[in-house]
Structure 1
Amino acid sequence: MRDAQATTIYLKDYRVPDFLIDKTDLHFELFESHTLVHSRLAMRRNPQAPSNKAALQLDGAELELVSLSIDGSALSGSAYQINGETLTIPDVPAQFELACTTRIEPHNNTSLEGLYKSSGMFCTQCEAEGFRKITWYLDRPDVMSVYTVTVDADAARYPVLLSNGNLVATENLANGRHRAVWEDPFKKPAYLFALVAGDLERVSDSFVTMSGRKVDLHIYVEAKDVDKCDHAMTSLKNAMRWDEEVYGREYDLDIFNIVAVDDFNMGAMENKSLNIFNTSCVLASPGTTTDAGFQRVEGVVAHEYFHNWSGNRVTCRDWFQLSLKEGFTVFRDAEFSADMGSPVVKRVEDVSLLRTAQFAEDAGPMSHPVRPDSYMEISNFYTVTIYEKGAEVVRMIHTLLGPEQFRKGSDLYFERHDGQAVTCEDFVRAMEEASGIDLTQFRHWYSQAGTPELEVSGHYDAAAETFALTVKQNCRPTPGQKEKQPFHIPLAMGLLGDAGALPLTLRGVQPDTETADNTHTVLHVTEPEQTFIFEQVKEAPVPSLLRGFSAPVKLYYDYDRDDLLFLMQQDTDGFNRWEASQQLGVLALKDMIAAHRKGEGCALDSRLITAGQSLLCDESLDPAMVALMLTLPSEGYLAELMQPVDVLANHAARQQARLELAIALNGELLATYRRLSMAQGEYQPTAEQIASRSLKNLCLQYLMLLPDEHSLQLCLEQLATADNMTDRLSALVALLNSDYEKEKALALQQFYQQWQHEPLVINQWFQVQATCSRPGTLTRVHELLNHPAFEIRNPNKVRAVIGAFCGQNAVNFHQTDGAGYRFLADQVIALNSINPQIAARLLGPLSKWQKYLPEQQALMKAELERIAACAGLSRDVYEVVSKSLAE
């Protein structure tokens, strides 16, 4: 257990390492009761360090030191000191070999950091600071070394022995053991080290790079999962081809391995040439995986592959620069997924996550810049701000520079810094130098926390035929940052008239004759207040603002509801058509929420019904976009717009609105459901089929809100006859959230009996129950914790039950007696000693206690205080709780 009272680490205190490690030789002897790790490190003093007399200080945690020597001479106990997680050797030469043997117990390592066991298999997770649980080392990303790794293990139990790089030797040893030796020719920091030993099957393929080299591709899984690897392999080859075509990046080794692991804290890890994946992000088959699951596999496989350049070949100088690799790579994987499917649908999905999760983080006690100023436990900063907002920052650079100049910037960045550990500043500077565009003010996006807000107003002068757009920007105070400098915000926009998109002539700006589309432009918002004047505007326009969500901001414009309906029907920007539907829904729901809080009645705005009828009757529209536009704003999004948050009122109003839509659109919903059901052929996870299933299943969700026996039969029939998990699980969700108690109990029982031998499917079975909005769900969640298939040490199962209930079931988590809060606190306290990283990540719903009604605030704060009073808190949990209570 780490010390909860650890000091805060600050970016301003960064200093280069006193020592470097040119070569790392590791020899692992794997046994059932323990592992011996023998390391030989070729070390030297760093010529860039301020002192040539500094003591050697190595990082380590939960290690038993067996031996320690320098240049072959054993060190006595008086020659070094161990203090907590630091081993200090005061007197070392300028250049030397440090040899160390440690003893560790992977089978008892429940934190899933370092070397641990999962389903009888040895595996590693070293990012961010897991390597120090393997051996004493300079565990920091700016210390890069060439690795040779020898692994010895029982040949029968662990026939597969893997590490980074190339397999250079194998050998049979005495006593039924065997050995594999791996060499990685590329320098890497310790966090990219990987090792796997297990009884695994291999699915193989190959890829020929743009220079004609053949790369062997392997996916290692348990024998029962061999038939679930095809989609991941296809996704990998597509990603390799895309990275060559779009970024000119070719894979640099002759082998690329992926291993699926069931116990994993994250989604996947980009270790050089040996990616270790959570099983949920690599295994996929129609019978066991939903459409969203297929898309997740495709996106995560691409993300980890793209890291080979944006993260591995060029890595982070320190952990404050985490978004340098993660933000850039999330942007890259999002563009890849958009190219593989529907760009507009992908953008809507990404923005929805940003608005509900990242905006909430920006407004909460854990708010931090894309490049944080400080941290207590780095594991707490693998956040939506680092990943998703970081990706939005890169996207804005792409918007400001344009695709061609952005490609020049990325080429310069990779060429200049290949093999180096660098900073966010190095990335921005490469973009500036390649494009000639000054990004000085833009850098505030890296250093300032919070979500900027844009207040926009428009004025049309019919006599002058001008339209003036005034933009005011503001960013509210966040912890440690009361005052904010103006951001450089790219505001993509257009003007719409009765005949469609209007040509744009911006006063003071020469038109771009090279751009074919003169109805779309990007405004550079750089001042606290600016006015942009458009000339030759022949009619009063409706502005289409923040097209494609061109910046991660909150935008306020006083649209009336007819304007929003007009934008839904006429906007040439697909994202903004969806956005108009959401804003119209927000206005309607606000009326209904206000009425509910007063105990009054309020009918749903008829415009939403009119829009729904139009959408469902137009078969030429993309079904996925129709489904998105027919989905009312989520309770999570409403919680970001209305404070204090009245969870029960929000839920009641949204449920009423859904019911009114179901009643009014019953005929259209039923006709659409039948049409799409008849058109469905053999399952394929293609964009077209995914789109059709998304609308079909949304129709079923609406139909099941009605007390209609025919709808129930449709739902039961789909549940019984579906040939894919998307349709099957959608029917189960619709049934669970209905009034049919007998049918749902039977369906749950039958589902479990059919799929009990598929852990990933059972995780979905857990999740649909934990997120059920019906009363009594908390009682069911308590029962699930005692279910034979639940395992508290497995992060996937913890997320499926505890995380899903507390983070995705607001109406039940926030029940008025505070039982949901007590439940979460109990689980965090229990997990603190098992897996601190997962425990800390569960705390998000409690950390935002100040957003809610006073009576809820008191109950939530009391549970945070109960956690804070516990002895032996991990650094992970302590940091989140202490910052939450400091607000």
Structure 2
Amino acid sequence: MDIHAAAASPAVIRRSDYRVPDWLVPDVTLDFDLDPALTTVRAKLAVARNGGHDRPLRLDGDGLVPLEVKVDGRSLTQAEWHLEAGALILPLPGAAHEVETLVELAPERNSKLMGLYASGGLLCTQCEAEGFRRITFFPDRPDILSRYSVRMAADKACFPILLANGDPVEQGDGEDGRHWAIWNDPYPKPCYLFALVAGDLSCNRDRFVTMSGRDVQLGIWVKDADLPRTTHAMEALKNSMAWDERVYGREYDLNVFNIVAVADFNFGAMENKGLNIFNSRYILADPDTATDIDYDGVEGVVAHEYFHNWSGNRVTCRDWFQLSLKEGFTVFRDQNFSADMGSHAVKRIEDVRILRAGQFPEDSGPLAHPVRPESYMEISNFYTATIYNKGAELIRMMALMLGPERFHAGTDLYFDRHDGQAATCEDFVRAMEDGGNIDLTQFRLWYEQAGTPRVRALLSHDAATGRVNLVLSQIIPPTPGQPEKRPMAIPIRVALFDRESRANHGDETLMLTRSEQRFTFQNVATAPVLSINRGFSAPVIVDTNRSQADLAFLSAHDDDPFARYEAMQQLMVNVLVGQIGGQPVDESAVVDAVRQTLIDPALDSAFVAEAIRLPSEAYLGDQMPIVDPDAIHDARDALQHRIGAELEPLWRDMHARLRANSFSLSPAAKGARKLRNAALHYLVASGAADGPLTAFEQFDSADNMTERQAALGILANGESPERIAAVDIFYNRYCADALTLDKWFQTQAFALHPDTVDLVEKLGRHKDFTLNNPNRVRALYGAFSGNQWAFHHRSGKGYRLVADCILALDPINPQTAARLVPPLGRWKRFDAQRAALMQAQLQRILSQPGLSKDVMEQVRKSLD
């Protein structure tokens, strides 16, 4: 077979082609003889024909060669089986058999980090989405649910800890310094949830008593030196377990729950049943090495993976087109958990900012796809912001439309109806309908149609009648494969404010279901101010006829925190977009709004820090038909300077006043650090002569990474002796700590500095940079491609740097390489010169012989 020819035409998998499995596998027994250089895997599968057909048994495989094949204890000759596209094909008579295979693996050579691989002296697995077929022959699809019994044997000195899914059964010593352990998982699960870890690990042990009184043993396993940095993760785990019982009535079901942190991981974490495997960045945290954002990330990801025990494991997805069934619902759950643990207002602002930064651009580009896609070449490419973040917004909209009681009746019905099953997004929506007594027929379009709806809101007031008319209209733009769209069911929360009394005439949720609708409000004496999409009730772009004065009013008086924040942001966007377009604008309105926000005693520090933050350069680009990175940077830099200069005394006072005496993770302390960093940012932006020195003093004296990295980032944007000193000090202090060194790479790659593109090229050759660790790649090239001004340097050098990285990384780790493609795919949003340069790099990547289907799919779609 011509490998290059096969790679040039990867098969397209379509949702419409789904059919139930030909064979089921109710029970699996696995026996691993573990060694980094040569591991053997003996698998015994109890298989049962599913329905009246005569089709053979197909066991998927990727790079596997069967050393032995048995059926019902009899060894087969090679004439009795064959390989087809890597899969083992067995023509079998009758209804049920035991199939046994033996294969060999080389974990230390598995740089793709899928299947069984070596990481930092550990052996571990990652099987979602299709990694199990790299371990043994198996029907690798999520609707095959099996009970697993696993035996592992390994050198006891090198691998003293042997962990797998479920509960431990037996362990003992063998010959030649080896030992063994047996684990059993009584709950049927798809093979993508299989997990195994072997290594020299220490454990942070704790316990949790469930609501029915069961005692669950908890363990977070890490290298011994990292043990002190697991305290926060353990607290997050226990809080998650209690929250899921309290809010959803979901109790943990095994006797043991283990987490293992590994250094090399393609994702954030994996929810394998009873044995979660985590990227170490989402487990390890202490004040010296982790920022407040890192602490929040640990809490959120630990919660996310734990919540998957029900929304993903006990109820899994029928096929990979239903990925948002588990991911969107679980993101919604972890967002609400984090909000309950901290500030609901700030958490909502953070979540929407992430959605707009990642999902909105995805929805408006060549890689746009529905929350429930219709086809794919490589499923790994659909672990996207649309599946996760937009999927969560769909759940949030249903929760809003149903209300708390009916929504939880729907989720209870969903869990009860589909426990132990592989379900679909339609199953979830139907449970919401049945449990909440609501018709969601039109709402289903959110799962079917890609693109971010644009909602136009026009408000008018008749003083004579006291009537207010609000006309709402919607447009869903064309996306690849979907040129025409039908109107969506969009819940829009609105309120009308009296300008004089500042009174809220009432919060209402309006359902926009047609292309255009008129809503009327009575008995409103004077022209009100419109607050719309309160709480970000729908993931849409809203255009209104509100004036800058209206926005300034809302930024000071709206009683919905998100709407108040949004008004401030829109006030800033209007000024900046106007400046970029050469229109006369009044910057003083922004300066005054920032001043009023800073001196409002009713606002907490974390909210203030969010509200006064200027929109990012990338977000500003999304507001323009053609992105002009240089003009955006100049306008934003100028407004930042003016806010800094005019309010300099406030920034100085705030920066000095918010200095803490000791580190704390209380919401008040975290808010104070966030606002203090914002004050330092504006103080330096003001051009004050002592700005760099003040930043360096914060960097040098900080007792926490939040303030230290913020000061480093502020210094990295400019040119000063303090910048050079801080970069060197940070490296020398943390060069032996991989996670913290990632921050050093990331901060420099994201710097708004004229020479960033040249610095990134230099850092790519640094002795501590490696393509073998996904975190390091994301820290440098991932951050750089998100730095709009630097990445889109007019020379095109930034495009070449990222393309070079993709080509070098693809043979090593195609999944991570593919995730670097989308920024190049937005070429239609830029001027002709930049567009041509981006297209040239995409064509260069596509011409590479042997390109993975992960990268190939992304590049082909990006060029369309």
TM > 0.5 between the two? yes
How far is the alpha carbon of 1:706 from its aligned partner?
3.8
Q: CA 1:712–1:817 in structure 2 vs 1: closer, same or farther (change >3 Å)?
A: closer
CA distance in 2, matches of 1:534, 1:490: 17
Kindly indicate whether residue 583 of structure 2 is the aligned counterpart of residue 579 of structure 1: no
Alignment correspondent of 1:545: 532
Contact 1:592 1:604 in 2 (8 A): no
Q: 1:593 aligns with which of 557, 563, 580?
A: 580
Note the 1:742-753 alignment, pairs <5 A.
742-753=721-732
Alignment correspondent of 2:624: 642
Alignment correspondent of 2:676: 696
How far is the alpha carbon of 1:25 from its aligned partner?
0.3
How far is the alpha carbon of 1:773 from its aligned partner?
1.2
Contact 2:325 2:428 in 1 (8 A): yes
Alignment correspondent of 1:494: 495
How far is the alpha carbon of 1:212 from its aligned partner?
1.1
* Percent of matched pairs sharing the same residue: 49
Alignment correspondent of 2:749: 770
Structure 2, unaligned runs of 5 or more: none
Kindly indicate whether residue 740 of structure 2 is the aligned counterpart of residue 761 of structure 1: yes
CA distance in 1, matches of 2:118, 2:31: 18
- Post-superposition CA distance 1:185-216 (Å, at most 9, x none): 00000000000000011000111111111111
Note the 1:293-308 alignment, pairs <5 A.
293-308=294-309
**Could you say what secondary structure the match of 1:657 adopts?**
helix
Kindly indicate whether residue 784 of structure 2 is the aligned counterpart of residue 805 of structure 1: yes
Alignment correspondent of 1:389: 390
CA distance in 2, matches of 1:65, 1:834: 24
Letter in 2 for 1:798: V
CA distance in 2, matches of 1:445, 1:595: 38
Alignment correspondent of 1:515: none
**Could you say what secondary structure the match of 2:551 adopts?**
helix
How far is the alpha carbon of 1:692 from its aligned partner?
0.8
CA distance in 2, matches of 1:454, 1:125: 41
**Could you say what secondary structure the match of 1:520 adopts?**
strand
Alignment correspondent of 2:821: 843
CA distance in 2, matches of 1:106, 1:202: 24
Structure 1, unaligned runs of 5 or more: 505-518, 597-601
How far is the alpha carbon of 1:499 from its aligned partner?
4.9
Q: 1:8 aligns with which of 9, 12, 20?
A: 12
How far is the alpha carbon of 1:144 from its aligned partner?
0.3
Note the 1:419-458 alignment, pairs <5 A.
419-458=420-459
CA distance in 1, matches of 2:170, 2:446: 48
Contact 2:204 2:227 in 1 (8 A): yes
Note the 1:149-548 alignment, pairs <5 A.
149-499=150-500, 519-548=506-535
**Could you say what secondary structure the match of 1:548 adopts?**
coil
**Could you say what secondary structure the match of 2:309 adopts?**
coil
CA distance in 2, matches of 1:582, 1:732: 26
How far is the alpha carbon of 1:4 from its aligned partner?
4.7
**Could you say what secondary structure the match of 2:159 adopts?**
coil
CA distance in 2, matches of 1:387, 1:500: 41
Note the 1:555-634 alignment, pairs <5 A.
555-595=542-582, 605-634=587-616
Q: 2:691 aligns with which of 701, 704, 711?
A: 711
Alignment correspondent of 1:736: 716
How far is the alpha carbon of 1:336 from its aligned partner?
0.4
Alignment correspondent of 2:807: 829
Letter in 2 for 1:712: P
Letter in 1 for 2:241: M
CA distance in 1, matches of 2:173, 2:9: 48
Deviates more, 1:862-871 or 1:74-83: 74-83
**Could you say what secondary structure the match of 2:458 adopts?**
strand
Q: 2:832 aligns with which of 843, 846, 854?
A: 854
Contact 1:604 1:660 in 2 (8 A): no
How many pairs does the alignment contain?
860
Note the 1:646-661 alignment, pairs <5 A.
646-661=628-643
**Could you say what secondary structure the match of 2:312 adopts?**
coil
How far is the alpha carbon of 1:87 from its aligned partner?
1.8
CA distance in 1, matches of 2:100, 2:411: 40
**Could you say what secondary structure the match of 1:210 adopts?**
coil
Deviates more, 1:703-712 or 1:144-153: 703-712
Letter in 2 for 1:649: A
CA distance in 2, matches of 1:853, 1:32: 50
Q: 1:863 aligns with which of 834, 837, 841?
A: 841
Alignment correspondent of 1:508: none
- Post-superposition CA distance 1:541-567 (Å, at most 9, x none): 111100000001111101110000001
**Could you say what secondary structure the match of 1:110 adopts?**
coil
CA distance in 1, matches of 2:88, 2:827: 41
**Could you say what secondary structure the match of 2:147 adopts?**
strand
Alignment correspondent of 2:104: 103
**Could you say what secondary structure the match of 1:65 adopts?**
coil
**Could you say what secondary structure the match of 1:830 adopts?**
helix
Note the 1:712-727 alignment, pairs <5 A.
712-727=692-707
CA distance in 2, matches of 1:52, 1:784: 59
- Post-superposition CA distance 1:743-773 (Å, at most 9, x none): 2222211111111221111000110011111
Contact 1:115 1:125 in 2 (8 A): yes
CA distance in 1, matches of 2:746, 2:124: 27
Kindly indicate whether residue 23 of structure 2 is the aligned counterpart of residue 19 of structure 1: yes
CA distance in 2, matches of 1:91, 1:207: 47
Normalising by structure 2, report the TM-score.
0.98
CA distance in 2, matches of 1:571, 1:773: 33
Deviates more, 1:486-495 or 1:379-388: 486-495
Deviates more, 1:613-622 or 1:330-339: 613-622
Aligned-residue CA RMSD (Å): 1.3
How far is the alpha carbon of 1:410 from its aligned partner?
0.4
Letter in 2 for 1:822: R
Contact 2:692 2:722 in 1 (8 A): no
How far is the alpha carbon of 1:356 from its aligned partner?
2.0
- Post-superposition CA distance 1:113-144 (Å, at most 9, x none): 01000001000000000000001101000000
Kindly indicate whether residue 38 of structure 2 is the aligned counterpart of residue 34 of structure 1: yes
- Post-superposition CA distance 1:320-369 (Å, at most 9, x none): 00000000000000000011111111111111111121111011111100
Contact 1:627 1:698 in 2 (8 A): yes
- Post-superposition CA distance 1:503-523 (Å, at most 9, x none): 65xxxxxxxxxxxxxx11100
Kindly indicate whether residue 860 of structure 2 is the aligned counterpart of residue 882 of structure 1: yes
How far is the alpha carbon of 1:620 from its aligned partner?
3.5
How far is the alpha carbon of 1:604 from its aligned partner?
5.8
How far is the alpha carbon of 1:611 from its aligned partner?
1.2
CA distance in 1, matches of 2:834, 2:760: 21
Contact 2:315 2:422 in 1 (8 A): yes
Contact 2:490 2:512 in 1 (8 A): yes
CA distance in 1, matches of 2:523, 2:263: 62
**Could you say what secondary structure the match of 1:335 adopts?**
helix
Deviates more, 1:530-539 or 1:33-42: 530-539
Contact 1:62 1:104 in 2 (8 A): no
Contact 1:773 1:811 in 2 (8 A): yes
Letter in 2 for 1:578: Y
How far is the alpha carbon of 1:618 from its aligned partner?
2.7
Kindly indicate whether residue 796 of structure 2 is the aligned counterpart of residue 818 of structure 1: yes
CA distance in 2, matches of 1:417, 1:766: 45
Letter in 2 for 1:452: P
Letter in 2 for 1:684: S
CA distance in 2, matches of 1:31, 1:577: 58
- Post-superposition CA distance 1:697-728 (Å, at most 9, x none): 01101111244343333222211111100011
Letter in 2 for 1:35: T
Q: 1:782 aligns with which of 761, 781, 804?
A: 761
CA distance in 1, matches of 2:798, 2:840: 13
How far is the alpha carbon of 1:589 from its aligned partner?
0.1
